[in-house]
Amino acid sequence: TQAARQTTNNSNECKENGPNNIAAQTFTFRELATATKNFRSECLVGEGGFGRVYKGQLSTGQTIAVKQLDRNGVQGNKEFLVEVLMLSLLHHPNLVNLIGYCADGDQRLLVYEYMSLGSLEDHLLDVPHDQKPLDWYKRMKIALHSAKGLDYLHYKANPPVIYRDLKASNILLEKDFHAKLSDFGLAKLGPTGDKTHVSTRVMGTYGYCAPEYQRTGQLTPMSDVYSFGVVLLELITGRRAIDTKRSNHEQNLVTWAHPYFSNAARYPELADPLLNGDFPVKGLNQAVAIAAMCLQEEETARPLMSDVVTALSFLTLSPQDDDDSPFLTESSPDSDYTECINHPSQDHRDQMSQERQKALAEAMEWGSTHTALSRATSINSSCA
């Protein structure tokens, strides 16, 4: 089929440019049926437009997650082949590990490592009344891990990859809330050489897609940066990207939050009520500023994911560390940095870039100093 030929072309390109070979195991349908007790409902852990996900156990004792694709679902044969290809070639601590797949007859199943804590959506957007909500530092840790996964895809994978479907349900969590990106069926190889974008049919999830991608079908790494901004805003607010249960003006998260971006004094009003005010105001201000930068209408005004990783790495620090950081300074509505973030006109764009680099340099300098001080304290304690 044309889809299979296209995927074969992508496979050849990946093999020519990347050092890894396809390493995923092949499983028989019988093996996976046995592992999931014939796909019993008690083993069902997730469901969506693509099909169902079951928890299973291989004969080796390894716990796995088995995604059984719905033959009439949104993820077709092409997406299945793309996902096998992508996850076989891509390896990073913040990408879910594909163990293998099954393509017996018309069966299409993917076998992943089992992520014991489910998805970010389970812990952030579908929180039962008897479940403790995510605290601020866990939220920032999940944001950082997701950013690291995207940074790897954009700038360290060869060839580069655009994820195209970042959302809370695709961020999976294991013990200690270590986060990994999953579901690569919509991923695309990024532009190479002199190309600035790849053109493709608009896919993804409403509420997370970058506006320029929705308009033109032109996909760049900055499209993922916008989606990340939406997820970061979800982590800050505890609100869904699209929530039709809310009043009309609050249904779209980005539209609702946008007026707050122009007034840093109102940033704390964006905080999830479930946090009960238990968050560092400095850290929240910086997180909102990062989200606002990622959500710029003009894609060239958005930061690189490497910049985002650097900034977020200092928002996951403990409260004691937080107070000493010159990077997490109190934001004021009329600060130059905030002005650049909120009003990225052509005149401000160069200044915004310079201010961002300055802030990141200050953050890294503080990080080095803090690490040295911690090491010295540890040595003194052991000597005592």
User: Annotated active-site positions, please?
Assistant: 165
**pLDDT value of position 73:** 56
Please tell me whether 183 is known to bind a ligand: yes
Distance CA 330, CA 179 (A): 29
Bridge partners (DSSP) listed for residue 171: 181
Distance CA 235, CA 28 (A): 39
CB atoms within 10 A of CB 159: 15
**pLDDT value of position 145:** 98
Please tell me whether 224 is known to bind a ligand: no
- 294, 211 contact by CB (below 8 A): no
User: Can you give the pTM of this predicted structure?
Assistant: 0.76
**pLDDT value of position 1:** 41
Task: Note the pLDDT tens digit of each residue in 316-340.
Answer: 876 655 444 444 444 433 344 344 4
**pLDDT value of position 4:** 41
Please tell me whether 334 is known to bind a ligand: no
**pLDDT value of position 49:** 63
Task: Note the pLDDT tens digit of each residue in 102-149.
Answer: 988 888 999 999 999 999 999 999 788 888 999 999 999 999 999 999
- Domains of the chain, first to last: 2-113 (3.30.200.20), 120-376 (1.10.510.10)
> Which of the residues in the chain have pLDDT under 50?
1-21, 322-349, 352, 356, 359, 362-364, 366-371, 373-374, 377-378, 381-384
- The 10 Å CB-count burial string (b at 16+, else e) for 326-359 is ebbeebeeeeebbbbbbebeeebeeebbebbeeb
Q: Is 169 helix (H, G, I), strand (E, B) or coil?
A: helix
Region of residue 381 (phi > 0: left; psi between -120 and 50: alpha; otherwise: beta)? alpha
Q: Is 178 helix (H, G, I), strand (E, B) or coil?
A: strand
